[in-house]
Amino acid sequence: MNCEQARTEIIAYLKGELTEDQKTKIEEHLARCPACRHELEGARRLLSWTEAASEQAIVKKVEDIIDNAIKSKASDIHFEGQRGNTLRVRYRIDGVLHDVMSIDPTERMGVIMRIKMMADVDTSVVSAPQDGRMPWKFDCQDYDIRVAFCPFVYGEGIVMRILDKSVVLIGLEKIYLYPDHLQALKELVHQPTGMFINAGPTGSGKTTTLYSILMEINNPGTKIMTIEDPVEYILKGVNHSQIHKKAGYTFASAIRSFFRHDPDVIMVGEMRCFEDVALAMEAAITGHLVLSTLHTNDAIGVIQRLRDMEVENYVISAALLGAMNQRLVRRVCSECKERVLEVTPALRALKITEDDLKAHEVFIGKGCDKCHNTGYKGRAGIYELLVIDRHLREMIGEGVPSEELLKAAIENGFMPMRDDARRKVLDGITTAEESLRVLAFTD
């Protein structure tokens, strides 16, 4: 027996499924081959972990962790290896991580293996990243859970992203846009040609906004095509497509293909390089409405980001309709909120005065069981929307610096995100402290 034959029969050997003759041959080979003995030990550990993953106690523990996360309105579940071979579990609720439990070393690998089996990834891989997904049903509602595995010093870490269709597919009227922003955004996305870019960091609600825009413009007379990584939700009447890097199907190759399918609207999940941007801009200039995202700190930064990606000023000027930047702030808990009567340093930083407190009901949450004693429950968007008018278009084409573009936009009514946050504090939606926490990343 050689090494290749031995490796194919190791699991059967451990399970006692070999004949006596086969068992004798593999044992003789293992006695003289250190490499195969090492592989045997690895297979023995893997088999014991797999068996542990099927134990009722482990199955129930994993199911309870996921169900409780959904009950808590968590967006993510984090499993992190710790010193001492324990597994730390945290929920991300309203953008902030909360400790939930520590899994005992005796159950750790069973839990990790159980999640791997559910996510349909290779259970034997422990030293390389893997991605999987699983459907989930809780309280008669369907969820899609994306699962990412990554090796760390203290073992594999896992993040489960819980995708709730009812949260994302809510429409523009329900994402906390004020009427002036809502009307301007609707006018932009109902244009027949041009590009609209939604900007912000990961986890800022860009997907919810883009899908809400698709819901707004989706109708039987419009052909909408999307290229995403991955497709998160399926909208009726929309042609969704997902990139496949191994097959050479990228954002750029998808856009090229889309040109031959006669679309009216193209949504590009993310523009990652010059080729993506160039093709998306070409689509916008040649008679299509293009929706996409970029990672920038503010709306005016979209223009500079496009310049950094070597897009010519005249192309930006011709294609760009507008850009929006957004963040998510936690909402004041309605169960434990109390009115703020004195101006705090945080309120002062947002230029909120004593007169403002008299004229508006500004709240802060005391903390209760409903909000996990944080004072916040749920989230709302804060926005800034840059509409490219004729004057800005000319300035962009002439290569005017971003600072001057921002000044011109403000003179023409552009409202920076800080002002939108101020309005939401005065309306009792969020707090000044929460707004400043989020705005710190934009200032």
Identify the structural domains of the chain with CATH numbers, from first to last: 3-53 (no CATH), 56-163 (3.30.450.90), 167-439 (3.40.50.300)
Q: Could you read off the pLDDT of 177-202 as tens digits, one per residue?
A: 999 999 999 999 999 999 999 999 98
Nearest-angstrom CA–CA distance, 251 and 102: 40
- Local confidence band at 234 (pLDDT 50, 70, 90 cut-offs): confident
| pLDDT of amino acid 40 | 67
| pLDDT of amino acid 168 | 67
Does 207 score more than 90 pLDDT? no
**Paired residues of 387 in beta bridges:** 322
Q: Is 356 exposed, middle or buried (0-12, 13-18, 19+ CB in 10 A)?
A: middle
Give the least confident one: 21-35, 93-107, 215-229, 308-322.
21-35
| pLDDT of amino acid 441 | 54
Give the least confident one: 163-177, 194-208, 274-288.
163-177
Give the least confident one: 19-23, 88-92, 219-223, 353-357.
19-23
Give the least confident one: 2-6, 248-252, 276-280.
2-6
Does 443 score more than 60 pLDDT? no
Rg (CA), the chain: 27
Stretch 119-144: mean pLDDT, rounded?
90
Does 12 score more than 80 pLDDT? no
Which of helix, strand or coil describes residue 163?
strand
Nearest-angstrom CA–CA distance, 371 and 267: 36
Which residues, including other chains, have CB under 8 Å from residue 129's CB and lie 6 or more apart? 148, 149, 150, 151
Stretch 57-71: mean pLDDT, rounded?
96
| pLDDT of amino acid 419 | 97
Nearest-angstrom CA–CA distance, 339 and 380: 19
| pLDDT of amino acid 1 | 66
Percent of the chain with pLDDT over 70: 96
Task: Write the DSSP assignment of 57-119 as a string of letters.
Answer: HHHHHHHHHHHHHHHTTEEEEEEEE-TTS-EEEEEEETTEEEEEEEE-HHHHHHHHHHHHHHH
Stretch 324-339: mean pLDDT, rounded?
97
Whether residue 265 contacts residue 223, with contact meaning beta carbons closer than 8 Å, is answered with yes
Nearest-angstrom CA–CA distance, 290 and 62: 41
Nearest-angstrom CA–CA distance, 146 and 164: 11
Does 283 score more than 60 pLDDT? yes
Q: What token pair was written down for 379?
A: 């989230």
Q: What token pair was written down for 63?
A: 């199911």
The residue that leads in pLDDT, 248 or 52, is 248
Written as one letter, the residue type at 385 is L
Helices 56-71 and 105-119, packing angle to 10 deg: 70
Stretch 83-110: mean pLDDT, rounded?
94
| pLDDT of amino acid 181 | 96
CA distances, 114 to each of 24, 57, 156 (Å): 33, 11, 13
Nearest-angstrom CA–CA distance, 198 and 210: 8
Nearest-angstrom CA–CA distance, 232 and 245: 17
Residue 120 region by backbone torsions, left for phi larger than 0, else alpha for psi between -120 and 50, else beta: left
| pLDDT of amino acid 246 | 85
User: Looking at residue 297, what DSSP letter applies?
Assistant: S
Ranges assigned E (strand) in 200-307: 224-228, 238-242, 265-268, 289-294
- Local confidence band at 64 (pLDDT 50, 70, 90 cut-offs): very high
> How would you classify the pairing of strands 130-138 and 289-294?
unpaired
- Local confidence band at 230 (pLDDT 50, 70, 90 cut-offs): confident
- Local confidence band at 17 (pLDDT 50, 70, 90 cut-offs): confident
Stretch 125-144: mean pLDDT, rounded?
91
Does 442 score more than 60 pLDDT? no
pTM: 0.83
Q: For CA atoms 326, 332, 333, 335, give the dihedral sign.
A: negative
| pLDDT of amino acid 331 | 97
Nearest-angstrom CA–CA distance, 188 and 209: 14
| pLDDT of amino acid 24 | 78
Average pLDDT, the chain: 91
Stretch 21-44: mean pLDDT, rounded?
75
Does 20 score more than 60 pLDDT? yes
Q: Could you read off the pLDDT of 381-416 as tens digits, one per residue?
A: 999 999 999 999 999 999 999 999 999 999 999 999
The residue that leads in pLDDT, 368 or 8, is 368
Does 50 score more than 80 pLDDT? no
| pLDDT of amino acid 94 | 92
